[in-house]
Structure 1
Amino acid sequence: MKQTKGAIAVSSSELVEMVSQQLQTLLIAGSYDAVKILLEPVQPVDIAEAIGSLPRTVQALAFRLLRKDEAIEVYEYLDASVQQTLLERLRSGEILELVEEMSPDDRVRLFDELPAKVVRRLLAELSPAERRITAQLLGYEAETAGRLMTTKFIDLKEFHSASQALAIVRCRARDTETVYSLYVTDRSRHLTGILSLRDLVTVDPDSSIADVMTREVVSVSTDTDQEEVARAIQRYDFLAVPVVDREQRLVGIVTVDDVIDVIEKEATRDLYAAGAVQAGDEDDYFQSNLFTIARRRVVWLLILLAANAGTSAVIASQQAVLKEIVLLSAFIPLLIGAGGNVGAQSSTVVIRGLSTKRIQNLGVWRAIWRESLAGLFLGLLLLIGVLPWAWQIGGSLLVGAAAGISLVAITTLAATAGAALPLLFDRMSLDPALMSAPFITTATDVVGVFIYLQTASWLLVHFRFH
C-alpha cells in the first residue's frame, strides 16, 4: 500500500499542471536545487503525474533529483510507459536499486509490462530473498489474488502477549504494506485469526493474542479472480484481505489501493467492450499510435458491418411493398432507432447487475421477464406519440398501423434481447460486456426492419388500404 507524506491534500489537475510547467522550466534552466524545493511539499502521486507529463528527454533528470525513498514511492505511481522509459534511461545500478526496493506486487506489475528478456535480467540481479518472492508471485495466474497480493504483512502467534505483539509491529511496521490489519498464524503458517491494530492497543498488555483475535476470518485463495477479491474488500469494508494457498497457509494480502486499480482496469475494459473497441493491456489508448487505434476498432466494425448487411438484405427482399407504399421507408430509422436505444438500455442495466451480483439475487428468468415487460410498456408509451404523427405525416392508415404495431413489437423484443444476451454470455463464461449497445443495436436493426415490413405487407394484403 503506497503511503503519502505530510497532511492529506486534495490533488487537482491545476496543481499538477502548475508543478509540471514550473518543473520543466527549472530543469531547462539547470536550477536543480530549486526543483528539490518545488517538489518537497508535493504528494508522490502528484509528482509522478507531473513527471509523466514532461518531455521524455527530461523525465529521467527530474526523477534523479528525488530522494531515494521518495523516488521509489513516486516510481510505483508512474504509468507503465513512463516506468519503462526511465528503465531505459537510468544507469544499471540505479535500475537495480530501484527495482530491489519496490513493493513485491508493484514489481510484478512492472515485470508484466517489460519484455521477457529484460525481466530475466532484472530477476537474476535481485537479491535472493526478493528474487524468490517475485518468482513466487509471477508463478500465479494473471488477474488472480496470487498475482495481485503482496507478501509484506505482519503475522503474529496466538501465544504472543499484546505487549509482545506491539513490539513486533513497531519492529516491522516500516517494511510492511499495512499495520492496521494483523494476522495470526500457527507454527505451520496456517491462518487462524485476525485482529486490528485498534484491538491490540486497547487491551491489557499482558492479554494473550488468542483472547483478542477473531477466529472467523474472511480470506481468498491464490487462484481467486481479482474481481472477486475486489468484491470481498468492498463487501466487508476491509483495508486488506488475507490470501491463503490450498493448504490454508497465509501467503500474502491484497490491499485496498491495489483493488482500486483493479476496479479501474475492469471498468475500462468493460467500457471499451461496450463501445466495440478492443482494449489493450492497460488504459493507454490516448498514448497509442493511429495504427494501433485503428486495429483495435476495425475488428469489431467489420463484424458489425457484416451483421448490418442483414438489414440491407431484409429491405431488398421487401421491394414490392416499398414500391407500393414508398412512405414506409421514411419510418425505418425511427423504428430501428427506438429498438436500438431500448435494447442498449436493457443490456446496460443487466451488465451492471451482473457486475454488482444483484442479478443473482433477482434471478435470471425474472430479470429477463422484467425487462420484457419494461420494453412492452415503453413501446406502448412511445406508441401514443408515434401513431398519430405517423398517421398524419403518412396520410395512410396502413403506415400508421404498421409503424405503431411494429414499434411495440420491436421495443419488447429489443428489451428481451438486451437482457437475455448478456446473461447468456455470462452463463457461457464469456464477457457479458461483449453483448452491449453496438451488438444489441445491430441485431435489433435486422429484426426490427423485418418485423416492420412484414407487418406492413400483411396489412396491405389483408386490408388493402393506403
Structure 2
Amino acid sequence: MDRIESKAERPDKPVGGGRTASRFDLVLDTVGRLLRRGAIGNLERMVSKMHPADVAKMLHHLNAAQEKRTIFELIKPDTIKATVLSEMDEGDIGDVLQDVPAADIAMLLKDLPDDDQAYVITCLPEERSQEILKLMKPEDSAEVKDLLRYESKSAGAMMTTEYFSLTEDTTAEEAIRKLQGAKDTGNVFYVYVTDRGEKLVGVLSMRQLLQVPPHTRLATMIKREVISVTTDTDQEEVAKLVARYNLLAIPVVDKESRLVGIITVDDVVDIIHDAATEDMLKMSGTQIEEEDVLMHSSVFQAVRHRVPWLLTNLIGSIVSGSI
C-alpha cells in the first residue's frame, strides 16, 4: 500500500526548513499507520472527531486513491460527508467518487448549498455530471444548471442563490416573521431589499431590523448605497471588496441590477487561498507550502483578522438588539 505523503514519519525531528512537525503532520502519520494495519474501527472513530475541512485536507495528502476512498466511506452521517466533499480539491473529488453510484452522489448533494453542488458536479466528467443532474430534484438541478452557465472564476459561478430578500414595502414585523419561517436561505448575515421588479435597492443589518418599531417599513431604514458585484465580476475583485468593506457577504446582481445571488465570506477565503498560491508559485518558481503562501497574502490577512471580529460583532448586535 502506498505511504501517506506526509512530513511526519519522524515527528520528533524538524521538517520542511527546520520547522517541527505540526499537529496535522502527526494526524497524517497516525492515519497512515492505521491504514497499513487495517484498523478500520480506529480510523472511523478518529475521522468522526475531525472537522470536515481537516478531513478534506487529510484526504488530499493521501497518495493512493483507494486510501482516499476508504477514509471517505467512513465519514458519517451523510450531511458531514457532503460537507467534506465540498471542501475537497477537484482531483480528490474524482478519486473518492469514482465508484460511487450516481444516485448516491445525488443524495449526498441534496445536503449542500447550490454553489457547492455546482462545484462538485464540475469536478466530475461531463457524462457523469449530466447523469447526476437528472437524478436530482428538478428545482435543485435547475439552480445548479443556472450557476454552471456562468464563466469560471466569475462572481456568477461562485454565488449561491440561497439568500434572504424582501421588498421595500415590507414592515419590520413582517420581515422578522418571514425570517423565522425561511428555509433554504443558509446563514442570514444581511437582509437584502428589492423593489417589485427584484432590483436591489438597499440592505440592512439584523440589528437595525430588531431595533425599530414593528410597523416600520424597510424602505425608510435601508442603506441604499449597496456594495455589490455583477455576475461577470472577477472573483479576485470580489475578494478585495469583501476584505476592504468588512463584509460577511456581498450581493450579486445581473445587468439590470436585479438581485440574483450572494457570495459569503467562507467562499471568499477559498478564492484568496487559490489566488495567493497560484501567484506566489509563479513568482518564486519553486514549490512553497500552501499554508505559507496563504498566510502571506495581504488580502487574506485582512479577511483572517476581520472575520472573527465581524462574527463577534454580528452576534453582539443581534443580542443587544433583542434586549
What TM-score range do you get, normalising by the shorter chain? 0.7 to 0.9
The reply to whether residue 76 of structure 1 matches residue 61 of structure 2 is no
- Between the aligned partners of 2:240 and 2:56, the Cα distance in structure 1 is 28
Q: Secondary structure at the match of 2:181?
A: helix
TM-superposed deviation, 1:199? 2.0
- Between the aligned partners of 1:142 and 1:92, the Cα distance in structure 2 is 24
Larger deviation: 110-119 or 226-235?
110-119
Normalising by structure 2, what TM-score?
0.73
- Between the aligned partners of 1:267 and 1:59, the Cα distance in structure 2 is 26
- Between the aligned partners of 1:63 and 1:80, the Cα distance in structure 2 is 15
RMSD over aligned Cα atoms: 2.7
- Between the aligned partners of 1:238 and 1:13, the Cα distance in structure 2 is 35
Q: Secondary structure at the match of 1:50?
A: helix
CA contact under 8 A between 1:219 and 1:244: conserved in structure 2? yes
The reply to whether residue 151 of structure 1 matches residue 151 of structure 2 is no
CA contact under 8 A between 2:103 and 2:132: conserved in structure 1? no
Find 2:24's aligned residue among 5, 10, 16. Answer: 16
Find 2:123's aligned residue among 84, 97, 113. Answer: 113
TM-superposed deviation, 1:106? 2.2
- Between the aligned partners of 1:18 and 1:213, the Cα distance in structure 2 is 51
- 1:247 is matched with 256
TM-superposed deviation, 1:57? 1.8
- 1:270 is matched with 279
- Between the aligned partners of 1:42 and 1:113, the Cα distance in structure 2 is 24
- Between the aligned partners of 2:30 and 2:281, the Cα distance in structure 1 is 35
- Between the aligned partners of 2:40 and 2:152, the Cα distance in structure 1 is 44
Q: Secondary structure at the match of 2:213?
A: coil
Find 1:171's aligned residue among 178, 181, 184. Answer: 181
- 2:142 is matched with 132
Amino acid aligned to 1:200: L
Q: Secondary structure at the match of 1:194?
A: strand
CA distance 1:19–1:275, change in 2 (3 Å): closer
CA distance 1:50–1:276, change in 2 (3 Å): closer
Correspondence 1:369-448 to 2 at 5 A: none
1:39-92 per-position Cα deviation (integer Å, ceiling 9, x unaligned): 344222112222333443232232233212111111111121111111103233
- Between the aligned partners of 2:267 and 2:209, the Cα distance in structure 1 is 25
Amino acid aligned to 2:137: S
- Between the aligned partners of 2:211 and 2:70, the Cα distance in structure 1 is 48
Normalising by structure 1, what TM-score?
0.52
Q: Which residues of structure 1 form unaligned runs of 5+?
A: 1-11, 278-282, 284-351, 353-466
TM-superposed deviation, 1:99? 2.7
Amino acid aligned to 2:123: E
Correspondence 1:85-96 to 2 at 5 A: 85-96=95-106
The reply to whether residue 48 of structure 1 matches residue 59 of structure 2 is no
Correspondence 1:287-366 to 2 at 5 A: none
TM-superposed deviation, 1:242? 0.5
- Between the aligned partners of 1:218 and 1:105, the Cα distance in structure 2 is 21
- 1:160 is matched with 170
Q: Secondary structure at the match of 2:191?
A: strand
CA contact under 8 A between 1:226 and 1:262: conserved in structure 2? yes
TM-superposed deviation, 1:251? 0.3
- Between the aligned partners of 1:162 and 1:63, the Cα distance in structure 2 is 45
- Between the aligned partners of 1:94 and 1:17, the Cα distance in structure 2 is 32
- Between the aligned partners of 1:224 and 1:164, the Cα distance in structure 2 is 33
CA distance 1:125–1:93, change in 2 (3 Å): closer
Amino acid aligned to 1:14: S
- 1:97 is matched with 107
- 1:221 is matched with 230
Amino acid aligned to 1:113: C
- Between the aligned partners of 1:64 and 1:105, the Cα distance in structure 2 is 23
CA distance 1:14–1:169, change in 2 (3 Å): farther
CA contact under 8 A between 2:102 and 2:128: conserved in structure 1? no
CA contact under 8 A between 1:190 and 1:248: conserved in structure 2? yes
The reply to whether residue 210 of structure 1 matches residue 203 of structure 2 is no
Find 2:69's aligned residue among 56, 60, 72. Answer: 60
TM-superposed deviation, 1:26? 5.0
**Larger gyration radius, structure 1 or structure 2:** 1
- Between the aligned partners of 2:205 and 2:21, the Cα distance in structure 1 is 36
- 1:188 is matched with 197
- 1:455 is matched with none
- Between the aligned partners of 2:29 and 2:278, the Cα distance in structure 1 is 32
Identical-pair percentage: 33
Larger deviation: 69-78 or 201-210?
201-210
Q: Tell me which stretches of 4 or more aligned residues in structure 1 moved more than 6 Å.
A: none
CA contact under 8 A between 1:20 and 1:51: conserved in structure 2? no
CA distance 1:275–1:242, change in 2 (3 Å): same
The reply to whether residue 39 of structure 1 matches residue 47 of structure 2 is yes
- Between the aligned partners of 2:281 and 2:67, the Cα distance in structure 1 is 33
Amino acid aligned to 1:209: L
CA contact under 8 A between 1:17 and 1:50: conserved in structure 2? no
1:151-208 per-position Cα deviation (integer Å, ceiling 9, x unaligned): 11111222333233223223336x3343111211223211111111222233333433
Amino acid aligned to 1:180: F
CA contact under 8 A between 1:16 and 1:49: conserved in structure 2? no
